[in-house]
Structure 1
């Protein structure tokens, strides 16, 4: 499997699923506590993350993403997972 296909699969079946769940949870928390700036900042961050990965998928669909870019994004995702596991 090419790294581009691997990245596409990972984004669609794992990463964006988690990001969307996090956005939904933050929306729910914000609806209960409209004055919580930390939650709003976190939501803005997650929306930016979603936008980035949506753009990556768009580049994949248009064959504009190189193998090297896919490898870099996969490595970044692996680093993020490692950081999450350390916490």
Structure 2
């Protein structure tokens, strides 16, 4: 199971593998020790099968709930008004 995750990390971090053919991915898989089911799921890009093998969640959610009455903070992208400096008098 851990090797399947390491393989996915490797594919995600190596630009040569991210769009590689099945043959190149199969060759890359040879350096990882994993079962035939995991290997087949990875090569077939069978996400439901891989999720089941790795005991993952089918769906994940992310929510941000702001408390009532919360004021919006200034965005860091907005310019901040700064007082103009006076030029030295000559």
**Which of the pair has more CA radius of gyration?**
2
On whether the aligned pair clears a TM of 0.5, the verdict is: no
TM-score, normalization: structure 2?
0.27
TM-score with structure 1 setting the length: 0.28
- Richer in helix (by share): 1
Flag the structure with more relative contact order, 1 or 2, with Cα contacts below 8 A and sequence separation at least 6: 1
